[in-house]
Structure 1
Amino acid sequence: MKLVRVGPRGAERPGVVAPDGRVLDLSSVTADIDGAFLAGDGLARARAALDAGELPPAVPHERIGAPIARPGKIVCIGLNYSDHAEETGATPPAEPVVFLKASDTMIGPDDEVLVPRRSVKTDYEVELAVVIGRTARYLAGPEDAAGVIAGYAIANDVSEREFQIERGGQWDKGKSCETFNPLGPWLVTADEIADPQALGMRLWVNGELRQDGDTKNQIFGVHHVIWYLSQFMVLEPGDVVNTGTPAGVAMGRGPDAYLRAGDVVELEIDGLGRQRQTVGQA
């Protein structure tokens, strides 16, 4: 099942993508796609309404929002592909590298991404995002992670590398600028993704293929990451976990590869749809 939120920013309506590609209105089932919806029986009720043919078409819309309402937290894993670690000159980590992104960085998949003021190194990162559907606290092992995952989406973990690396402190200030986490277009429920470690992922800038990777090359797989995080924090329904990016980021390509106003970034992951952002200036 593919869940979607459509409409103006701050006034999105919940929807579901029908088998014929139409977006159907889920407002009769839930007021929004959020943690409360995922934690309860929302997915089951949405599926039942879809199967029964009870849902009307969504109201006409021009914008797709992020497929989940603002999460409590966005947790990210750094250097989780060996080829990406190599291109950045980093040693592959012995344990997952964890950082947080401000939850208000999340925008729709086709919304404008803003280069921050005084930025000279704004970068792109195609990532598999995991959306949590059940509370995860001290999971016993990676084998328990599947039971707390609601589904998957595409994330662009936009990053300002000078802020992140050269300005002292933690990574967060290079990761939490406004618009720095486009998500969507859909939240694809976990039952539709047979193997999260077998998903091709690609990113283009102005039509040039920059990233062409596969989740099979993650150093720490999805289930390991969710188990690991649960040892250090409580993951709540609606939380988003970005699981790392493959090689091809601007930081590994040189100064001319960083994003500038007017650039167009396109991303896709097998089975999860496609994003397209135009870059603007803050």
Structure 2
Amino acid sequence: MSHGCSQYQQEVEICLSEKAFGFLLVSSDSMEVAKKSITEVIELLTEVGGSCRNSGIHSLLEMLCSLISFDLAKYVIDITERKVSYYNILVKHMCTRGQFKDARNLFEEMRGISCDPDTKTYNYLISSLCKQGSIDQAVSVFEEILGRGCSPNFITFETLIYFACKYGRSDHAIMLYDQMVSCGVKPRLSTHYAFIRGYFRSQQFDEAYRYVVDNASASTCSVQEIYNVLASLHLQDGYLIVAHNLLVEMLQKGLKPKHSIFWRTAKSLRETGKPKFANNLEAWYYSRDVG
């Protein structure tokens, strides 16, 4: 039977999800019973091998962490492999639950077995700290990354930039952007989205608009895309006249609004008793032959 499974697995990629382990007695009062069940599952996964084993162990760790069974998740790592990608699952779930002290302890545990945290490990901590409003602690973690010779990536910078803007620390966001460039991390379109969304969420609407216009003048990114992002944000929050004005400004500059944003803006303007604005937008849109 096992030989047949292995042969089939070589022909077809089998990926297991967390649902595959719903039968495990991880809620048992006896830790030993749970460990015995897990050991048997790991042995079976190892016998099958390939993508089935890899996805299985990953999903098993995800399931145990979602059940806050971190001790059992560590047990899985102990009897399989002590590697960063496995520890990162624990760090992710600990940080999501605000268990920063436990996550930090795990960092030290990883270093103790020469399994140093990588950029992804740090990013989980930075993101969770930022979401809880602890931007200063997140910046300290960023400085730790640099101090330990671990290279921050675009996600590291974009996360910090977004929340720096959101919390009204524009100067710090710009400093991070400069540091991003100096570190050789090429800004992506999503980097500019981080600035725009951060300004918008802190209700710095003028700053968000100025950022779009300044980048349009500098031609440093897709002008059309960042205009669309800002118009979409205003539309989502019900600032229909501002969304209308941005779309008309785009058309006047020869830029093409996304059809879905144009259509939803015109529709919402009519539904809220502003047909003149809807007609004006449609006149501009179709006169430019962008439909």
TM bucket, shorter chain? under 0.3
TM-score, normalization by structure 1: 0.21
Q: More relative contact order in 1 or in 2 (CA 8 Å, sep 6+)?
A: 1
Higher helix share: 2
